[in-house]
Chains A and B, each alone.
Chain A
């Protein structure tokens, strides 16, 4: 079945990652924004991996909506990220903060994952940067997230969604089903595009 999409403004990500707070990153972005070249998509980490920022989005930019967002600093493993909205899962047995958008690189198979991080830009293999892990798409803070779509399995309905394998090589949102064990990573306000 071909993959489809769901508008970003119709998706609320559920943050299942270990929670941490840097007070200086609450409603304050890092230097030059989350995609600033000093700290995002860089070969050497400028923050400790797992560092989180929490920002409120007024829904001013693009089609974004208001609400809180959580972004997390992590390392992109194994496969380059082509653009924002790629869904990344843990890829290493030794470090939960090494993530990949390619399903085949995921540490675990479809149906068990409950940790997901969404790219906010293209990223180079093994580079460090920010990923969206919770809440609404913060278009006011990250231009690439102002208007866009999450990839889906073409089956997403209103309610809980998990992270799974679609028709392609990249992870997608799919509806939670009774036979799957993985906990939800998102809550969807609409069905995906037909």
Chain B
């Protein structure tokens, strides 16, 4: 089955990661914004991995919608080509080491419930911010006005992170018999 997409404004990510709050990062972007070169896509972490930021978008940018978003600092374990690539834990020793490549995931399709969406291209082994909850915050990150990849079967309701036709992870509808918890809630079917 060929992969498809769903508009970002129709997707609410469900944050299943350990929740934590840095008061300085509530409704405040880090220096230079979330893609600032001092802390995003950098070889040495500038925040503790797992650090979270919560921001509200008014939906003023592009097709984006209003609502809360949660972003998390993590390390990527493969190259990320662009925003909206879906990354899953890739290491048995560190849940915050994530990869968009399906075969690099720590666990097989059908069990994952931890997912972070890339907000830009990233270099292998570098650190930066990933979207892990809520709406795509295009007011804060211009590249988040776009589409999530899907397996061409996504319907309204709960979606999990799974395997599409390509090498990278996609959103797929939750189906009976699968054990993975949902990572998103979709307001429409995919394209």
Within 8 A of A (CB), among B8-67: 9-10, 12-15, 19, 21, 23, 26, 54, 56, 58, 65-67
Q: How far is the CA of A159 from the CA of B188 in the complex (A)?
A: 30
Q: Are B54 and A19 in contact (CB under 8 A)?
A: yes
Q: How far is the CB of A165 from chain B (nearest CB, A)?
A: 15
Q: How far is the CB of A98 from chain B (nearest CB, A)?
A: 10
By beta carbon, the residue of chain B nearest A95 is: B65
**A96 contact set on B, CB distance < 8 A:** 12, 65, 67, 135, 185, 187
Residue from B13, B54, B65 within 8 A of A20 (CB atoms): B54
Residue from B19, B157, B174 within 8 A of A19 (CB atoms): B19
The 8 A CB mask of B61-104 against A (1 = contact, 0 = none) is: 00001111110000000000000000000000000000000000
**A112 contact set on B, CB distance < 8 A:** 155-158
Query: Total interface residues on B, using CB and 8 Å?
Result: 34
Which of A20, A97, A181 has most B Cβ within 10 Å? A20
Is A94 among interface residues, defined by CB-CB distance under 8 A? Answer: yes
Q: Are A48 and B133 in contact (CB under 8 A)?
A: no
Q: How far is the CA of A49 from the CA of B5 in the complex (A)?
A: 27
Q: How far is the CB of B60 from chain A (nearest CB, A)?
A: 12
Q: Are A48 and B66 in contact (CB under 8 A)?
A: yes
Q: How far is the CA of A18 from the CA of B54 in the complex (A)?
A: 10
Q: Are A108 and B68 in contact (CB under 8 A)?
A: no
For chain A, give the interface size range.
20 to 34
Q: Are A93 and B188 in contact (CB under 8 A)?
A: yes
Q: Are B70 and A18 in contact (CB under 8 A)?
A: yes
Is A135 among interface residues, defined by CB-CB distance under 8 A? Answer: no
Q: Are B157 and A181 in contact (CB under 8 A)?
A: yes
Known: A112-B156, A114-B185, A183-B182. A20 touches B14 (CB 8 A): no
Q: Are B56 and A48 in contact (CB under 8 A)?
A: yes
The contact sample of 16 A-B pairs, CB cut-off 8 A, is: A19-B68, A19-B70, A20-B134, A21-B54, A23-B26, A48-B56, A49-B66, A92-B187, A93-B10, A96-B67, A96-B135, A112-B156, A114-B182, A115-B185, A181-B174, A183-B158
- Residues on A close to B: CB < 8 A? 16, 18-21, 23, 48-52, 90, 92-97, 107-108, 112-115, 179, 181-183
Closest 4 CB pairs of A and B: A20-B68, A18-B134, A112-B157, A18-B68
